[in-house]
Amino acid sequence: MQAEKLSPSKSGQKIAHRARSVTAAVILSRLLGLVREQVLAAFLGAGREMDAFVVGYRIPNLLRDLFAEGALGMAFTRVFSATWEKEGKAVAFEAAREALTVFGTLVLGVVLLGEVLAPQVVGLIAPKFHNFPHKFTLTVLLTRIMWPFLLFISLSAILAGMLNTLGVFFWPALSSALFNLLTITGGLALYFLFPLLGLPAVAGFAVGVLLGGAFQMGFNGLFLARKGFSFRLRPAFHSPAVKETLRLVGPSVLGLSAVQLNVFLNTYFATSCGEGAVSWLAYAFRLMYVPLGLFGVGLSLALLPTASREVARGDLKALQESFSSSLLVGLSLSLPSAAGLALLSQPIVRLIFEHGRFLPSDTLHTAQALSLFALGLPFYGATKVIVPVYYALGNTLLPALSSLLAVGVNLLVILLTLPLLHYKAIALGTAVSLAAQCLFLLTLLQFRLSCLLSRRFLLGLGKILGATFFMGVEAAILKDRVPVWVLIPLCGGFFLLLARLWGPEEALYFWKRPLKK
């Protein structure tokens, strides 16, 4: 069975169509993710318990990018796609069994080590918590509860990459929504049950995270079984698939170590900015993560298998076309989203989070961080499109170096601005580092793929920037006159109207079917 071959003129539309199918599920996931954050804000506020939960959840997530959505997941998707293209279904499935066995064993070892060293890890990432013994002890407990989540999400990412290669995009994306749903319902039930058992109520939300991760892994496995895949232990540590995946992952370990160092630095500085700072930054980044999920995740997942096949066929012209179109699609969504978040940050935060124990002062602090985070959103979204092309080309070193650059820029900005901006310096450093990383990768990719940024691309980008500017003017004029839940779709509709009048056509790829209906 051979994968379909697309003409370069259709590649962008095909990727956008696949990304759109992912986006439908991701919208639900992000909405449920916001509901989860609303629940946490209402019951935990932005104080001691929420700070402990954020740090406890962040610690296993320091490795999540390496073992799940990042290097391992993307590297194996490339190997699986190429194996399927060249050697067929049976060989590709056997390679998947070997990878699941080997990498599952590796991650399990990391989880067990993390359980033992949880106090030392918490002390390293949040040393100021030592000044508050109860807060430190609570953070260690929550960390130990949530460590196994790393195993579930890592295996789930490999299974999702296989489904994407097989042309299934909606269901693995929906599994994230189910994760959030189970985290909310299970966490709430246990929040009220645990105090009756003499356990901290917040630990209920931590167990909810664990249950959601296990369900997400099982859900993806179920759909793979329907595609004919059956898992059997294959401890083939020296198989070609495992070796090739490790070869691709190797340089990325350096890069992702840099990414995790960035997270470590942000957490370290945030915990020194007083109680609530960790929570404000976490809530703000969650809001920025919503529009990123609506386009960045979908485009990244849809582009990688397509780009891998085009490289396997040696069709670099098709790869250039796929990338340019995908980047325009992403920018047509990320630029207006960034403008909207920056201009409407306070009413958005007030609408979503200001309930229960989340106070008006928390709204102000979170909105200030969100406005700065939003500056990096277009660059973050673009990087989500750029990195899969590097992986498809078998080059994981340059993404790794870009991550090191991002760490240096982030640290420099934080050190220079922390005395003046306090916790807001962390949001600014993140945004500037995302911009530096994106421009670095894009510049070098331009040398690798000639005519990557064609005149047509630059003209399309100019039109997107123009439409974003006029949409921003509309938002600034109406933000004190129109409720934010009305203003957001109003601004989005105005942007789409301008895009339909001016172009580029890629700005409508996500919306073609809805607009026709």
3-state secondary structure string across 466-506: HHHHHHHHHHHHHCCCCCHHHHHHHHHHHHHHHHHHHCCHH
Is the preceding omega at residue 489 within 30 degrees of 0, hence cis?
no
Beta carbons within 10 angstroms of residue 275's beta carbon = 15
d(C-alpha 379, C-alpha 80), whole Å: 28
User: Closest Cα to residue 302, out of 280, 283, 327, 285?
Assistant: 327
Q: 3-state DSSP call for residue 338?
A: helix
pTM: 0.71
Check residue 458 and give its pLDDT.
85
Q: Where are the domains of the chain?
A: 9-38+276-511, 48-272
DSSP for 377-400, written as a single string: HHHHHHHHHHHHHHHHTT--HHHH
Residue 395 in this model has a pLDDT that exceeds 50: yes
5 pLDDT band, cuts 50/70/90, is: very low
| 3-class secondary structure, 126 | coil
For residues 423 and 273, is the Cβ–Cβ distance under 8 A? yes
Measured CA distances, 103 to 13, 143, 328 (Å): 35, 22, 35
Residue 257: the pLDDT is: 57
> What region does 466 belong to: left with phi over 0, alpha with psi -120 to 50, or beta?
alpha
**Maximum mean pLDDT: which of 124-128, 240-244, 449-453:** 124-128
Q: pLDDT, tens digit, for every residue of 457-503?
A: 888 889 999 999 999 999 999 988 899 889 999 998 998 899 888 87
End-to-end CA distance of the chain: 35
Residue 298 pLDDT grade (very low, low, confident, very high; cuts 50, 70, 90): low
CA–CA gap between residue 49 and residue 493 (Å, rounded):
40
Per-residue pLDDT at 340: 92
Q: Nearest to residue 74, comparing CAs of 388, 441, 320, 400?
A: 388
Mean pLDDT in residue range 175-196: 91
Over range 131-157, report the average pLDDT: 90
- Which of 105, 395, 407, 443 shows the shortest CA–CA distance to 252? 395
**If you average pLDDT over residues 104-108, what whole number do you get?**
88
Per DSSP, 130 falls in state G
Taking the C-alpha atoms of residue 451 and residue 496, their distance in angstroms, rounded to an integer, is 28
Q: What is the pLDDT of residue 202?
A: 93
Looking at every residue in the chain, the average pLDDT score rounds to 82
Q: 1 pLDDT band (50/70/90 cuts)?
A: very low
C-beta contacts of 460-464 below 8 A and 24+ residues apart: 460/328, 460/503, 460/504, 460/506, 460/507, 461/328, 461/331, 463/499, 463/502, 463/503, 463/504, 463/507, 464/328, 464/331, 464/332, 464/335, 464/499, 464/504, 464/507
pLDDT in tens, 107-128: 899 899 999 999 999 998 888 8
pLDDT beyond 60 at 517: no
Q: Where are the alpha helices (DSSP H) in 344-454?
A: 345-353, 360-373, 377-392, 397-421, 424-448
257 phi/psi in degrees, rounded to 5: -60, -35
Nearest to 298 by CA among 10, 9, 61, 25: 25
Residue % of the chain over a pLDDT of 70: 83
